[in-house]
Amino acid sequence: MTILVFTISLLGAMALGMPIAFALIICGIALMLQIGLFDSQIIAQNVINGADSFPLMAVPFFILAGEIMNAGGLAKRIVNVALAFVGHLRGGLGYVAILASCLLASLSGSAVADAAALATLIVPMMVRAGHDKARSAGLVAAGGIIAPVIPPSIGFVIFGVAGGVSISKLFLAGIFPGLMLGVGLAAAWWWTVRSEKLTPFARTTYAERGKAVVDGFWALLLPLIIIFGLRFGIFTPTEAAVVVAVYALFVATVIYRELKISDLPKLFVSAAVTTAVVMFLVATALVASWLITVAEITHQIVALVEPLMEHKTLLMLAIMAIVVIVGTALDMTPTILILTPVLMPIIKAAGIDPVYFGVLFIINNAIGLITPPVGTVLNVVCGVSKISVAEIIKGVWPFMLAQLFVLLLLVLFPALVTVPARWLYG
């Protein structure tokens, strides 16, 4: 009965058009009434505790860093580097988009910011080169969702806080799977453009490639700083966020000089608005999370899936299928906040590595960003590329299937995540 009250109250509030944060509070109140524990002070205290977390300080700085990188020329130079190295291949602009997505993912950690930047820069170029516009936009959207997987990742920060998992380990464990997503996209792109009549770009000389690398050196250096700092314990993920933001600000204003001091207030306001939305969601989610524990919903769910407990692969497949379905209706952050408290006790009871689960969980949620009708990244790319949702859905599905195939491989072969991760964090 408690599970039914939880589900109906949450989905009912959302069906009425209520924002997710308020729907979570309504869900919490419904659970309190169900177990006879209603107290408004408990709600207020849990909302305060939900935002009172040192690791969550990384969120505003990563968001700010993404704003600065896009406005300060770092994203443009990453695209130029990718264009210099793979632009001459058949369908080269598609590989440029994929390579740039991986590089940008290691800078900002925001799928929406990366996809919007790439859609602005790459999609018009791909259309002029003869590529189908919907397919080009679909590729850019699918490439954008690599951002939550390769560190730094806002999704990993939120999951780490909600699930009590090491954020540093999540960051390092996400590198290889994130690159696998890029390889999967490259394979899908090769297959889809093999019959297109295209005019490839001229092969760049070594001198031109060297010039592109030198011009983009300061942007390319940032991922190495993050990985080196986390690997050797120089800074925590929260401190890494500050390093990223300050570094991006310095490079954009002093070295590239494409960002004026007068532009900063606008960027700060934009980052603050986005941060407020995310942090309020996190804060209100703790109300539902606390009551899920008190009402022992997790124990009831564990009892339901007990037949799968001894078969880790089947359990993971079942959980991933559930998350895929939820991802079609919910955005990434609320999905993480709602499902993490429910799923983590199951994962621990089954003896599954929480870091491994966290990586797959975030990949699954990232794919949800390009699944209709709610897919945030899909809608952003639609707006930037000026095409309809129906068109981009036709263009994105081959790439979404490729990423789901990569997810399936990671479920069937956990060593693809755990072995590189152990090597990176020792």
Q: Which of 15-24, 191-200, 207-216 has the highest mean pLDDT?
A: 207-216
Highest mean pLDDT among 28-32, 54-58, 156-160: 156-160
388-416 confidence digits (pLDDT tens): 888 888 899 999 999 999 999 999 999 99
Summarize pLDDT for 299-308 with one digit per residue, the tens.
666 666 667 7
Domain boundaries, the chain: 54-282+305-425
pLDDT digit string (tens) for 368-385?
889 876 678 888 888 888
Side chain identity, residue 407: L
Residue 240 and residue 171: Cα distance in Å, rounded?
11
Q: Which region among 19-23, 211-215, 216-220 has the lowest average model confidence (pLDDT)?
A: 19-23
Instruction: Note the pLDDT of residue 302.
Output: 64
The reported pLDDT for the residue numbered 402 is 96
Cis peptide before 373 (omega within 30 of 0): yes
Note the residue count of the chain: 426
pLDDT bin (cut points 50, 70, 90) of residue 361 is very high
pLDDT digits (tens, 9 = 90+) for 62-118: 888 888 887 888 888 888 888 888 877 778 888 988 998 898 888 877 788 788 888
Amino acid identity, position 237 = P
pLDDT the model gives residue 45: 80
Report d(CA 149, CA 399) in Å as an integer.
Answer: 16
What percentage of the chain carries pLDDT values higher than 90?
27
**Cβ–Cβ < 8 Å for 32, 295:** no
Q: Distances in Å between the alpha carbon of 239 and those of 81, 270, 401?
A: 28, 21, 36
For residue 34, pLDDT over 90 is answered with: no
Average pLDDT taken over every residue of the chain: 84
Q: What is the pLDDT of residue 373?
A: 64
What's the pLDDT at 233? 78
pLDDT of residue 24: 79
pLDDT band of 151, cuts 50, 70, 90: confident
pLDDT, residue 252, reads 92
| Residue 372, Ramachandran bin (φ over 0: left; ψ between -120 and 50: alpha; else beta) | beta
pLDDT at position 327 is 80
pTM greater than 0.75 (yes/no): yes
Distance CA 12, CA 29 (A): 13
Section 341-357 average pLDDT? 90
* pLDDT of the residue at 425: 74
Output 86 or 211, whichever has higher pLDDT: 211
pLDDT range class, residue 200, cuts 50, 70, 90: low
Q: Is the pLDDT of residue 128 over 70?
A: yes
Which one, of 407, 305, 308, lies nearest residue 356 by Cα?
A: 407
| Integer Rg of the chain from CA | 22
CB 354 within 8 A of CB 170: no
